[in-house]
Amino acid sequence: MIKLKNVSKIYSEDTVAVKNINLHIRPGEFVSIVGQSGTGKTTIARLIIAEEKPTKGKIIIGGWDITDIKNSEVPVLRRQIGVVFQDFKLLPRKTVLENIAFALEVSGAPLKKIKTIIPQVLKVVGLEGKADRFPRQLSGGEQQRVVIARSLVHRPKIILADEPTGNLDAINVREIIDLLLKINKFGTTVVLVTHNPGIVNGLKKRVITLDQGVIISDQKMGRYIL
């Protein structure tokens, strides 16, 4: 599903974000990418969604070589990868429903499709009764669930969550991780970028550990080793 072959991202001689990364994530996997701050986790996430281009190497997503992806093709890629960030990125003046619909509207989806999909994704994330609330009326966990719902509208094959629990308390962290596991059970590949040992150790899933831009460990039933 996701292949990185000898990928390096070098900003300058002194700033090497990641170096010679070789990675193969199979369809339906739940993979955690861990490491301390500044080790290149987020760079890998940004390379996967073509927010950055690699200096060296090749990136293949679902059989599509996106190494030199054209700007016009990026939206097509983004619809295949649902993205969840730590800072939610919700529009404060739009309701839950409008925030989710916005993702479909700007992709040119017809109204009928929008009306069908929104109740479905709201049900998946458990926010059926809160469609008309504004982000400020929701807890952090609920806001992150809205983001996850928005990331699901294109029925992506991959969910990429970069520190999705960074702004949440313990209870909400558990809820979000459970939600990601639930989505993974439907067959969606989940890539979780985190530096929270508690989450990783509780998952008992594949863990890739980065240190100074290099993969130092890739375990099937991994633990946080740093």
Indicate the residue among 33 and 49 with the shorter CB distance to another protein: 49
Indicate the residue among 103 and 176 with the shorter CB distance to another protein: 103
Binding mask 194-223 for another protein (x = CB under 8 A): ------------------------------
Indicate the residue among 90 and 176 with the shorter CB distance to another protein: 90
What's the number of CA atoms in the CB half-sphere (13 Å) around residue 197?
5
- Size of interface with another protein, in residues (CB under 8 A): 25
The torsion region of residue 126 among left (phi > 0), alpha (psi -120 to 50) and beta comes to left
Q: How far is the CB of 132 from another protein (least distance, A)?
A: 20
Say whether residue 124 binds another protein (CB under 8 A): no
Note the Cα 50 to chain centre separation in Å. 13
Q: How far is the CB of 69 from another protein (least distance, A)?
A: 13
SS3 of the chain: helix, strand, coil, percent, to 5? 35, 25, 35
Indicate the residue among 1 and 103 with the shorter CB distance to another protein: 103
Indicate the residue among 10 and 102 with the shorter CB distance to another protein: 102
Note the Cα 72 to chain centre separation in Å. 21
Q: Which DSSP string do the residues of 116-171 spell out, in sequence order?
A: HHHHHHHHHHT-GGGTT--GGGS-HHHHHHHHHHHHHTT--SEEEEESTTTT--HH
Reduce the secondary structure of 174-212 to three states and give it as a string: HHHHHHHHHHHHCCCEEEEEECCHHHHHHHCCEEEEEEC
Please give the residues from 75 up to 114 whose contact with another protein meets the rule CB under 8 A: 75-79, 83, 89-91, 102-103, 105-108, 110-111
Q: Is the separation of the CB atoms in 133 and 180 below 8 Å?
A: no
Q: How far is the CB of 75 from another protein (least distance, A)?
A: 4
Please give the residues from 56 up to 75 whose contact with another protein meets the rule CB under 8 A: 71-72, 74-75
Residues in touch with another protein (CB under 8 A): 49, 71-72, 74-79, 83, 89-91, 102-103, 105-108, 110-111, 150-151, 153-154
